[in-house]
Amino acid sequence: MSRKILVLGEARDGALRNVSFEALRAAKVAAGGGEVVGVLIGEAVQPLGSELIQYGADRVVIVEDDQLRQYTPDGFSQALLAVIDQENPNGLIFGHTAMGKDLAPRIASKLSSGLISDATAVEEIDGTLVFTRPIYSGKAFEKKIITDGLVFATVRPNNIEPLARDESRSGEVASLAVEIHTIRTIIKEVVRKASEGVDLSEAKIIVAGGRGVKSKEGFEPLQELAKVLGGAVGASRGACDADYCDYSLQIGQTGKVVTPDLYIACGISGAIQHLAGMSNSKVIVAINKDPEASIFQVADYGIVGDLFEVVPMLIEEFAAVKQ
């Protein structure tokens, strides 16, 4: 079935997040040969429109306004609803990010639509769209189909492979004037606590520490290892509660859910709440002194040893390979 699907592109610091391209790939499947329309909302996002087209969008609609400088649910929902009213799509796909998780239910409510959240795969089987999503903290997966109304879903970052970038693709990038009014939320200042470098939710490699790291200083070898590997640093709730690091690094049921290609767990016991946030990683390496630690039950590779001895050796070996 041919459909028109809108994809909300998400920009950060003047660049598109990788989940925008993953959402485009999912939209291509959902469109069934129909049109995929990218949507960009913000301030000075016009230059990013051509990049969405190169990754699969057929055309792009831009909504720019000074009041859209920072994300607010009021402002972005007004802008997006105006685009939806103009385009009359058959479906919408967002990234399952902090913004997507906040905005998608609001839009679904306004449209009296259902919503499939946190999809990790989308496929068409015998003419029916099938979405896969985790349930029970990632212990099982369910298949969902939409029998009526809008196809509306959010996709988990780092699960759907984007289409290859094709710089020869071209398409219309048009602006839509929208009057933004009654903004009840005003962003006065943005204080970033997340670590610099690779975005944790989209990182291909994550080095995470738990209570076994013992201190703030204990995270320094992990940060060095992540830097050598070109990855990001994460943490268990135990490490965050102990004030070894900021809660912005927390991975787990009450933190971020990540699915990197490689997850290195250092001094993490493997509590079920933490496993809910990382158990779907493609390769898991566990480093722990306790051979009975639960983390070894989900790990692909286990190293029984002191992380303060093992991690420096890994840094040395990986650094030597990269030279």
pLDDT tens track for 268-308: 999 999 999 999 899 999 999 999 999 999 999 999 999 99
**Is the domain covering 5-175 a CATH 3.40.190.80 domain?**
no
Secondary structure letter of residue 161 according to DSSP? P
Boundaries of CATH 3.40.50.1220 in the chain?
A: 200-322
Residue 271, annotated ligand binder?
yes
Q: What are the tokens at 102?
A: 């906040």
CA nearest 151: which of 28, 11, 17, 58?
A: 28
Residue 288, annotated ligand binder?
yes
Residue 264, annotated ligand binder?
no
What rounded mean pLDDT belongs to the chain?
93
pLDDT of 181 above 90? no
Element holding 73 (H helix, E strand): helix 73-87
Q: Is 44 helix (H, G, I), strand (E, B) or coil?
A: coil
Residue 273, annotated ligand binder?
yes
pLDDT of 162 above 70? yes
Confidence of residue 106 (pLDDT cuts 50, 70, 90): very high
Residue 272, annotated ligand binder?
yes
Q: How far is CA 84 from CA 60, 165, 184, 228, 248, in A?
A: 13, 26, 22, 44, 33
Question: For residues 119 and 58, is the Cβ–Cβ distance under 8 A?
Answer: no
Q: What top-level class would CATH report for the domain 200-322?
A: alpha beta
Residue 270, annotated ligand binder?
yes
Residue 211, annotated ligand binder?
yes
pTM of the entire structure? 0.86
Q: Is 162 helix (H, G, I), strand (E, B) or coil?
A: coil
Residue 67, annotated ligand binder?
no
Boundaries of CATH 3.40.50.620 in the chain?
A: 5-175
